[in-house]
């Protein structure tokens, strides 16, 4: 099990990006959270199998239809194992 921590920059707030991430992560069976940051970025932490996390990273790089993704800063580490579900964080 691994952890993906990503910060997404671009036109990613107010376009359903967090809900897109949540639906994708839930479909993939991942645990974690996603939130909007004050600087206009979206941040996520997800844990699960590496292949499914890579699928999530690819989806995030494409984004939902109304979003424009300029960059994704993705960092990988070992899973903590203490996350439940996949939540919208505030």
Are the CB atoms for 67 and 14 separated by under 8 Å?
Answer: no
- Six-digit token string for 9: 């920059």
Q: Catalytic residue at 82?
A: no
Q: Which of 3, 9, 18, 61 is catalytic?
A: 18
Q: Which of 36, 58, 75, 82 is catalytic?
A: 36
Q: Catalytic residue at 18?
A: yes
Catalytic (active-site) positions? 18, 36
């Amino acid at each position: 099990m691994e952890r993906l921590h990503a910060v997404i920059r671009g036109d990613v707030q107010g376009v359903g990006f967090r809900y897109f991430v949540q639906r994708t992560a839930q479909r993939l069976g991942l645990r974690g959270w996603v939130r909007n940051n004050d600087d206009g970025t979206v941040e996520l932490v997800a844990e699960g199998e590496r292949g499914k996390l890579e699928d999530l990273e690819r989806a995030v790089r494409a984004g939902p239809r109304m979003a424009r993704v300029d960059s994704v800063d993705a960092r990988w580490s070992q899973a903590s194992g203490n996350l439940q579900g996949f939540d919208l964080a505030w």
